[in-house]
Amino acid sequence: MAIDVVKGYTNYGKSNGNGFMDISANGARTAFKASTDFSKMPEPRPHDRPIALFMEGHTGLYAGGGMVIESTPPQVRLAPLKGRGWKSWGYIPDKWLSWKDGVIRTHEEVVAIAKTIVGMPYWYGTFGQAPSLDLLRAKRKQYPSQYRCIKSTGNYEGAINRFAVVMDCIGLIRYVCLAKRVKISNARPGESKPVPTDSPFAIGDRVRIKTNALHYYPGGIKIPDWLKGQVKTVDQVLRAGRADVRGGEQCILLGDGINSWISVKNVQKVKE
């Protein structure tokens, strides 16, 4: 499994003694004693407990800075907190964040893991397993109504052998809580560092498409003239836990309605 900050330290399918494996999103909302008063939700510091967000039948992880990491069809994504319809929030209890080593996972560690899985496919009823045909068959049999509409949940067969892990919304919370160990490089005490990647950009960065750019990447389609010079948001810097290289150049995924991979050489970061 090629995920930078976990690298084999996860142990899925086994409970850590607190029954977490069997909980639903609504069950977690009750267990986390979620509050509807968002005026009392703090901006978490690196070593604070992580915060989960809730709406009916759905949950996500607050990443800080007004952003949320959630698994919703068709994939895990980083999205703004505002305008999404979140109804309540709650601290993830310490007992859910402690694995066999007894170390409590912090906001910084949990968010670091979550950022590495942005872009992973949404599969209902999963919590970090590697996608396989056997898993897909089992889940289709277990949840037939959830796996009928490919358009709403993505091409399941297409995810096999292309992505490291799959998960649903509560599966994402399970995933980040059950990680046995997280290594955050170059982080000093009390200081939050972004997840290290080979990319010069981070998710959420605003970038301008260069006016002299011709193709999205070498060998790719041409960039339309009307798009050049526009500012877009970086939605993804990794693919299946690795840098995405196209035409020999590293690429990032742009959002804001573009949803296209583009060479890092064709954009420049904008300070706003």
Note the pLDDT tens digit of each residue in 40-74. Answer: 999 998 888 899 999 999 999 999 999 999 999 88
What distance in Å separates the CA atoms of residue 213 and residue 222, rounded to the nearest whole number? 9
What distance in Å separates the CA atoms of residue 118 and residue 235, rounded to the nearest whole number? 9
pLDDT in tens, the chain (272 residues): 223 333 323 333 344 444 455 688 999 999 999 999 999 999 998 888 899 999 999 999 999 999 999 999 888 999 999 999 999 999 998 878 875 556 677 888 888 888 888 888 899 999 888 888 899 999 999 999 888 765 544 568 878 877 888 899 999 998 888 754 444 443 333 333 333 345 788 888 899 999 999 988 887 788 989 999 999 998 888 765 667 777 778 888 888 877 788 999 999 999 86
Identify the pLDDT of residue 259: 78
Identify the pLDDT of residue 164: 80
What distance in Å separates the CA atoms of residue 80 and residue 64, rounded to the nearest whole number? 10
Q: Are the C-beta atoms of 98 and 16 separated by less than 8 Å?
A: yes
| Alpha-helical runs (H) found in 130-201 | 133-142, 150-153, 156-159, 169-177
Whole-structure pTM value: 0.62
What distance in Å separates the CA atoms of residue 7 and residue 219, rounded to the nearest whole number? 33
